Structure 1
C-alpha cells in the first residue's frame, strides 16, 4: 500500500513503529525482538522514513542503546531514513497501567509524575546522543510527551513541561476515539471538530511559534478498552469510516498538525487494510483506506500547500468543505456530505454552487468517494471509480470516472451534486 501514497503527494512514506508493546520490550539480538524482527525494516523502500520508539517503560539504558544501534544498522540508508527516536509511550499511564490480566503490576509507583518522567526522558536522550555513534553530529529529534488519549492535561501540561523536556523534541499525542454509532459519532463533523480542537488546540497554539511540530502518533476510530476486544468491526470498515478518515485528516491539516500516524496492525478492527489472512481476519482492504487516498490526492504534488476549512451553511449543516491552495492559488475543493444514509430510501442530495472563481480557471475535475449501499456499506466503496482489492496487494487499480465540468464567468456551467454519505473533490483546471 505504501507504493500508492508517495506518488500522490511527492513525499516519502513515513512509518511510526511503536506503542505499548515497543515501550516494554527487552532487546536480545538472538530472540524474536532481535535479528528476525529487525530484518523486516530492510523490506521497505529505502526512501521510507521511520520514527522508531525505544523503550522507557522498561528503563534499561544499556538495552535501549543496543536496540537503537540495531535499528539504525538495519535501515538500508541508516540515519538518512531516521526521522525521530521516540522515547517511551504514554508515560502518564505508567503509574496506573498495565493492570491484570495484561501484566502483574504498573510500570512505576503511584507517586510517579511529570517531574519523574522529565528526568528519565532527559537522561535517555543524553544517553542516546552520546552512546549511539550513528547519532553523533546528527540533528536528531527525540519525540517527547507521547501522552495517552485520556491524559490529565492540567497535570501533564505541555507548557509546564516545556523548559524541562521538549526543547529538542517533537510533541506527539496519541488519540483513539471509541465511537458508538455511524450517525451519531463517526459521521458527526461537529463532534470530530470539537474533540480535536479541545484535545490538541492549546498545545498546537503553544508549540507553533516555538517551531516545534505537533504530531499525532496513534490515531484510530476505536481501539477498545484495556484488554477487551475492539468494538464491532462493521462500524470502522464502512463508507462512513472512509468519510470520517477524510474529514479527520483534512481538519488536522487545517489545524497545523504536521503529521498523523494512523494505527495499522494485524487484526486491528480499524486498520486501513489487513495484510495477511489470519484465524481472526481475512486479508482485505477496509473502508477507511479510501479516506486516506482521498486525503493524499487532496494534498497532491503541487507543493507550498495550505488548507482552510470553509464555514458551515446553516441551511445544509451536513455539508463540510475545505479549500486547498498551492502558492496562494486555489487548486482544490473538498466537499463532504456527512449526512447518514442507510441505503433504503432515495439518496438525499445537495447541489454545489461555485461563483467568483478566478478568471484563469476554465473547469473543475470532479471525483467522488462513494458507495451505492449507503453509510454502512462494506463493499463496493470507490474513489474516482477505483476499487482496491486484497488480491492486487495494493497495486493501483485501473479506471477513472472523474468528470470535467466547465467554468464560465467564474461559475460552474452545470450542476454538481453531493449525495448523502459521499465526498467530492473538485480540482481547478487553469488555462
Structure 2
C-alpha cells in the first residue's frame, strides 16, 4: 500500500518545490519508489519531479478536473511506496468561484485524497509568529490534516529554537529546520522556474538538495506521517479527444509548456505524437494530420524563429490543407508578428493576424472557461474547455474570427478570445480538460 503526503506552504516562494525534489530523491536513494504529482496548473514542476524520481509526474486540478479524472491520474501511484503531491501558492489559495470539484486550492486535493499536509514555513523576519501561522492553517478547514512542518531559511540556532518551542507549544510537529543554502536555489525567469530540460546540472542540484535535507530533516518521521492509501477505481478516465491520429508536436526550449496528462491521454486514445523543433528550423511531419504548437518562451527566441524560413514556410504549407493549433506562445508564433522586450518587431508565421508585444509587459494569469464558437482540433462548436492562462504579452491586434467566448474563474468575459482563420486556430489558455 502506498502512503501519501501533500507538500504545501502559507505562500509561494517558500521552498515547496525544493523540499519535494529533495524528499523524493532522498527516499529514492534509499530504494523507495516515489511518485509525485503537482496540484494546480503549473506545467513546469512535473518535469522536475520526473528528474528526481525517474517516474512521470502529472497535474491534478480541482477547478478544471472532476473527481473521476483526479482519481484516474493519481492511480498511477498504486505501485509506489510514497506519493508526494506538491501544492501551488498557499495551502488554501484558489479562485473565488468553485469549479468542477473545487477552487483549485491544494487543500482540495489534500481533503479529497485524505493525505496529510507537510507545511514548508519560512520564518524569516519572525519567530513565534510562525507558529501562529501554522496553527491557523491547521485549524482553518475541517478535513485537511496537518502532519507537521519543515522550517526553511532559518537564520541561526537561536532563531530555530524560538520557532521550534512555539510550534511544540502549539502541538505541531517539527520535522526539521533548513539553514539558508544558496547551492540548492533553483533559477527562475518571468514565467517561473527555468525548465528542468534547460538545466544541464539539474541532477547534481537535486542530489545536493537531497543530501542537505537528509542532514537537517527527519526523513523517517516524515515518512511515518504519511497516510496509507489505496487508489479507488476511477469510474472514468480522461475526457480527452486527440486533435488527430498523427500529431506533429513542436517541442524544444521555445515550445515546451504542455500538460503531461494531455500527451498521455492522446497516446492512450491511439494517437501518435511526432515531435519537431522550430528552433532547429525543422518542418512538421509531412504525414501528420494536425500540427500543435504548445506554449513556451518564443519571446526569448523571436529573432531565431523569424529567421527560420524552412519552419515558417513548411508550417504555412501544412496549414493549407490541415489544422494547425497554437496555445499561448504557440498562438503568438502563428500570428503576424511578435515584438520582443527591446521593442524589436519579428515576423512570425502569419497564419493568423494576431500581433503581440513584450515591450510593455502586463501579467495575464488565471483559470479560463471557454465555449467554442468555432471548431478546433479535437473539439467541436459548443465544447466547454477548461484551461489556464499565464503570460506577459500585450495584444496589439487580434483581427480574426474569435475562436471562443472565454470567461475567467469569476465568470467575467475576457478579451483573449483566441482566433480562427482557415485551418489555423489559437488560444492564450493552455487546455487542461473538457467538461463532460
TM over 0.5: no
Q: TM-score w.r.t. structure 1 length?
A: 0.30
